[in-house]
Amino acid sequence: ISDLAVQCVINTARDVQSLVMDSNDRVSGATLDALRRVHGFTLRDISIKSCPNLDARSFRRMVLDCAGLTSLSMTKMQDVVSDTLVVGCCPYLTNLTHLDLSYNVRLTDDSILAASDHCVELRSIRLVNVHQMTDQG
């Protein structure tokens, strides 16, 4: 599926609350930009896995405009998801109850500490194969 196809759905759907995009190399940050502009207030759940053409800037803008997110999963996005991104976004994710950052091998204790400091509603967190985290985190 391409940016154009996803954006057509985004622009015609009335109340998108959830987005799941897995293993798609044909979508870019333009899809996230369209999603946040049209459904930023209603979006509650985002799951993105192995989408190599998405970028950190689009993720950050989306998080800033989707303050009502309760579930965020960004797995196997090691070229995009970094401590800088997670630490910068966590202060805006105060309603988050579920966070999955699995398989983002560059993340360190800084990410989990930011989540625990800012995402006070967290009930579940998944960190599968995040090897750089220590007991301190």
For residue range 3-14, what is the model confidence (pLDDT) as tens digits?
888 888 888 887
- Res 137: pLDDT: 62
User: What six digits make up the tokens of 94?
Assistant: 């105060």
User: What is the percentage of the chain residues whose pLDDT exceeds 90?
Assistant: 55
Dist. CA 102–CA 113, nearest whole Å: 16
Residue for token digits 């194969």? 129
The string of pLDDT tens digits covering residues 14-49 is 788 988 888 988 889 888 888 888 888 888 999 999
Residue pair 26/53 in contact (Cβ under 8 Å)? The answer is yes
Under CATH, to which class is 3-126 assigned? alpha beta
pLDDT exceeds cutoff 70 at 86: yes
Percentage of the chain modeled with pLDDT above 70:
99
Q: Is the pLDDT of residue 134 over 80?
A: no
- Average pLDDT over every residue of 63-71: 90
Q: Which residues of 93-118 are buried (b: 16+ CB within 10 A; e: fewer)?
A: beebebbbbbbbeebbebbbbbbeeb
